[in-house]
Amino acid sequence: MKLTRGLVRHIAVTAMSFAVVGLFVIMMINISFLNPIARAFGSFSTIDIYYQMLVDDPVVSTDISIIDISTVESRRDIAAIINEAESLGPKTIGMDIVFANWKDADGGDDMIMNIAGKYDNIVFAANCQFDAVRQSYLKNRSFFTPFINVKEGMTNFNRELYSDMKRDMNIGICLGDSLWPSFAWLTASVSSDGITPLKDRKEVIDFSPTLFPVIAPDSITAKSDLIKDRIILIGAVGDDVDRHYTPLGKISGVELQAYSIQTLLQRKSVRPMPAVVVAVLSFLIVLITEWLQEKYIQVVGWSKFVIVRHFLSTDMALGAVTFVWMLILLYISVILFAKTRMSIDIGWALSAIAILAATRNFYNTCISIKRNNK
């Protein structure tokens, strides 16, 4: 009977903690001046913490290199860079720059168009934007596509509802009646067999910290070992405009493409755990934490040393112990994530644990009032 009452108490306190967190979230969504907090909360994922914990041990990519053209403006110079890179035997070249409209009067446009017709291992970039007035997508494509049949992929990435955080990529983008391949998917499929089939869907990007070798335009030949039999992305690493927020922080667009291509090549897309499993797991984690906190309070109460008993009984001491326990939970989830690439979002559980002590005190107060009234 006593065991049953204890279990009921633990379950009640756990349920109340989740109820308080849920009430707080509802308030953030529906109260206008709390919108900034709602946006921050909505864009947060414990996966971001996982990557930050792994960031000090990056892996050097053996598949993808980047030629940085941040300081290159002329299309004639870009054409020369492509020709020099092609002479070293790359597997594929991905041009993370849209050659929209005729531009150069010095013959650079003709050189780019000749390259597009000469090499079949180059993937060119395009992008699109939705026109709310026309209720259709406007495509921004290479100027030479009406004359030459080239490989062209869309560089658009998905945005979160309340933030600009990039966590997933497009495999294909449906524009009207046609399905367009994304730039990342097309580059990966040209480079390797067995890439996931082209569909109008998203894929979660694996942001396992990676160093993609960056080559300066004037050292291409000297870095031939970083070009031969690799995927070469040509883009602006230092472009302040083309930078995106990711779980690793702010990175350039060409690096974002590199992570996307690597995800497809290594087939390491992050798989979200089913919502029902996350809900059950989160409840069990908080329930166990509630039981551990109560056991801690009981053990501390048995201490014969008054000073030690009083110090360890404080909210500060319990908070410190709980914080260590939360870190242990995070490390366990990081290990599981690194091994399985299964995202275990325990954000709700951590939020409930943070207010567990206050919820327990409130519950005990309610029970005391009820007993006194009887």
Quick check: helix, strand or coil at residue 345?
Answer: coil
- The H-or-E segment that residue 55 falls in is none
- CA neighbours closer than 13 Å in the CB half-sphere of residue 165: 19
- The predicted pLDDT at position 81 comes to 96
Q: What is the pTM of this model?
A: 0.76
Q: Which range (45-54, 108-117, 183-192, 253-262) has the least confidence?
A: 45-54
Q: What's the Cα-to-Cα distance from 53 to each of 285, 327, 337, rounded to whole Å?
A: 21, 11, 12
pLDDT digits (tens, 9 = 90+) for 162-205: 457 788 899 998 887 788 999 999 999 999 888 889 998 888 89
- The predicted pLDDT at position 161 comes to 45
Average pLDDT of span 142-154: 89
d(CA 293, CA 275): 27
Q: Is the pLDDT of residue 146 over 90?
A: no
341: which 2 tokens?
């690439």
- The predicted pLDDT at position 238 comes to 87
- The predicted pLDDT at position 193 comes to 86
Average pLDDT of span 14-23: 88
- In 3D space, the residue among 74, 69, 73 whose CA is nearest the CA of residue 107 turns out to be 74
- CA neighbours closer than 13 Å in the CB half-sphere of residue 370: 6
CB 69 within 8 A of CB 101: no
DSSP string, 196-258: PPP-S-EEE-----EE--EE-GGGTGGGGGGTTTSEEEEE-TT-SSSEEEETTEEEEHHHHHH
Quick check: helix, strand or coil at residue 135?
Answer: coil
pLDDT digits (tens, 9 = 90+) for 51-66: 777 777 788 999 999 9
The residue extents of the domains of the chain are 2-42+272-373, 57-269
d(CA 45, CA 346): 9
- The predicted pLDDT at position 370 comes to 78
In sequence order, the 6+-apart residues with CB closer than 8 A to the CB of 42 are: 160, 161, 162, 163
- The predicted pLDDT at position 316 comes to 86
**How far is C-alpha 372 from the chain's CA centre?**
53
Q: Is the pLDDT of residue 303 over 80?
A: no
d(CA 93, CA 82): 8
Q: Which range (10-14, 117-121, 305-309, 325-329) has the least confidence?
A: 305-309
- The predicted pLDDT at position 345 comes to 76
Of the chain, the percentage scoring pLDDT greater than 70 comes to 89
**Confidence class for position 239, pLDDT limits 50, 70, 90:** confident
- The H-or-E segment that residue 97 falls in is none
